[in-house]
Amino acid sequence: MSGYHEFLAMKVSQPFADYYACVIPSVTLKEISFSLKAENVNGTIQGVQRLLNNKRLHEISKFIDGESAAFPNSIILGANFLKSGRYAGENERCLVEPTTTENLYTIKVPKHSEVLSIIDGQHRLYAFEYAETQMDLLCAIYIDLAMPYQAFLFSTINYNQGKVDKSLAYQLFGYELDNEEPINWPPETLAVYLVRLFNSEKPLLNRIKYRTADEHKKIMQLLGVFLLPLL
C-alpha cells in the first residue's frame, strides 16, 4: 500500500512564488493539514492563526449542506512544515514529481502526517466537521515556502480584504521583527531579516528574491562562513 496521497496538479508561476493548484477531497485535506491557533501567552502571541469562530463554522456548514454550496476560491497551504513551525524531515516531506504531460505534476503527500500548514481557508475547511456533505476543494500549495513568507501571504490576503490588522498578522507568524529581541529570532526569521536588509540598498537593491526554506538555509550557511572567523 502506498504511503502517499497523490494529487495531479498544475504549476502556477507568479512574481511572489510558484505554487501548485490541485483538487483535494475535504475529508482527506482535514487529515493531512493543520492550523496553529494564535494565543496570547504572557503578552506574546504564539501560533499562526486566529481562533476558530464556532458561530461562523456552523453558518458555513449550513451553506455546505445547501443546494448552492460552492467554494471556487482555493484553500492556501504551505507544504513541508510541522506544527512546531520547523521544517519537515526527509521522510515527512511532500514530493513534487513531473508527469509526461507538460506543466502537469504529481503532488505526493505522506499519509498519516500533517505537513500542510493552512495559510488561508481554515474556517471553510473545518466547517466540514459540522456538515453532512463532503466535496472536492481547490487548493493552492506552496512548496517549502518559509514561515515568514507564509505570514506575508496571509497578511496580504486578509489585510487587503479588511479582515485582519496587518501588524497582528505578522505577529501571528512570528514575522514582526521589531517586537522581538534579535537574540530570540529563529534562523528563518534572521534569514528573512537579512534578505530585507540586503534588498534595501545598493549593490543588491531589489536583486534578492529568496522565498523557500532551502534558500534561507543557504543564506544562513553563507552567514556562518563569514561570521565564524569573527567569533
**96 and 18 co-located in one domain:** yes
Q: Which of 81, 114, 145 is a domain's end point?
A: 145
pLDDT band at 114 (very low <50, low <70, confident <90, very high): confident
User: How far is the C-alpha of 150 from the C-alpha of 76, rounded, in Å?
Assistant: 10
Q: How far is Cα 191 from Cα 183, in angstroms, rounded to an integer? A: 13
In a domain, residue 155? The reply is: no
- Which residue, among 22, 68, 33, 119, has the nearest Cα to 60 in the 3D structure? 68
User: Same domain, yes or no, for 189 and 104?
Assistant: no
Query: What is the C-alpha end-to-end distance of the chain, expressed in Å?
Result: 51
Amino acid at 223: L
HSE toward the beta carbon, residue 175, CA cutoff 13 A: 20
- Cβ contact 22:8 at 8 Å: yes
Residue 158, domain member (yes or no): no
| pLDDT confidence of residue 58 | 93
Query: What pLDDT band is residue 146 in, cutting at 50, 70 and 90?
Result: confident
What's the chain's average pLDDT? 78
Whole-angstrom distance, CA of residue 139 vs CA of residue 155: 18
Same domain, 111 and 193: no
Range of the domain at 78: 4-145
d(CA 218, CA 2): 33
Distances (CA, A) of 151 to 29, 76, 106, 122, 204: 21, 12, 26, 15, 24
Q: What is the pLDDT of residue 78?
A: 92
Q: Which residues pair with 140 in a beta bridge?
A: 21, 76
120, 223: one domain? no
Domain boundary residue, one of 111, 145, 179: 145
**32-36, 49-53, 195-199: which range is least confident on average?**
49-53
Q: Are residues 36 and 90 in the same domain?
A: yes
Same domain, 125 and 172: no
Least confident piece of the model among 35-39, 93-97, 199-203: 35-39
Residue 21 pLDDT > 90: yes
Counting Cβ atoms within 10 Å, is residue 79 exposed (0-12), middle (13-18) or buried (19+)? buried
**Are 64 and 103 within one domain?**
yes
Residue 156 lies in a domain: no
- pLDDT tens figures, 157-205: 766 554 455 444 444 555 555 556 676 666 666 766 777 777 777 887 7
SS3 state of residue 175: coil
* Domain count of the fold of the chain: 2
On whether residue 157 sits in a domain, the answer given is no
Give the pLDDT score at 10: 97
Give the confidence band of 219 by pLDDT, cuts at 50, 70, 90: low
Residue 200's CB: how many other CB atoms inside 10 A? 10
Using pLDDT thresholds of 50, 70 and 90, give the confidence band for residue 81.
Answer: confident
CA–CA distance, 53 with 164 (Å, rounded to integer): 14
Domain match, 173 and 92 both: no
Q: What is the mean pLDDT of residues 153-160?
A: 72
Query: Is the domain of 120 the same as that of 8?
Result: yes
Asked whether residue 147 carries a pLDDT value surpassing 50, the answer given is: yes
Looking at the structure, tell me whether residues 29 and 95 fall in a common domain. yes
Same domain, 139 and 176: no
Domain termination residue (choose one: 145, 175, 202): 145
Residue 218 lies in a domain: yes
Residue 53 banded pLDDT, cuts 50, 70, 90: confident
Cβ–Cβ under 8 Å, residues 45 and 164: no
Residue 97 lies in a domain: yes
- Residue 15 shares a structural domain with residue 99: yes
* 82 or 121, which is more confident: 121
